[in-house]
Structures are given as C-alpha cells and as structure tokens.
Amino acid sequence: DARYKELESSIRWRYGKDESGRRIIDSMEINVNVEVSDELRSEFSEVVKEHMDHGCLITRSLKRGFPIKLNITEI
C-alpha cells in the first residue's frame, strides 16, 4: 500500500511498423514523479523496488508484447 502527497505521470509511445508495414507501438516509456512524506520514505523505496523488479499489473501485462521502460522519481 503506497501513499503519496502528489503523483504525476506521463507515458511516451514509440511507433514502428510490423513486417507488413502497418503501424505498431514499438516501445513505451512511463515516467512517474512522486512526492513522498518523510515518514513514508523507507516504505516508498520498497514499493519502487517491487515495481522496478516486477512491474505493476499494466506493465507486467504489456511487457509481454513490447519493451517498456519505467522511470520513478521522487520530487
């Protein structure tokens, strides 16, 4: 369970073409900026490690289809 003061995220898609020349999503980069309270900082590092090691529901699902880069930055 993660609690944040503020969370801001963005996603950037990189497009490519499949073997037939049709447009596809080739990769995705997810950026997450999080403001964390001092008292939750140690808990936050565990949450980040879990997500970096295993991803979240969406990234675990999508990663099976194309590469995903996940960036999480504390603000």
Phi/psi at 40 (5° precision): -110, 5
pTM more than 0.75:
no
- Transcribe 9-69 into DSSP letters: EEEEEEEEE-TTS-EEEEEEEEEEEEE--GGGHHHHHHHHHHHHHH--HHHHHHHTTS-EE
Q: Per-residue pLDDT tens for 12-45?
A: 999 999 999 999 988 888 898 888 888 888 888 8
Can you give the pLDDT at residue 39? 83
Residue whose tokens read 């565990």: 46
Can you give the pLDDT at residue 15? 94
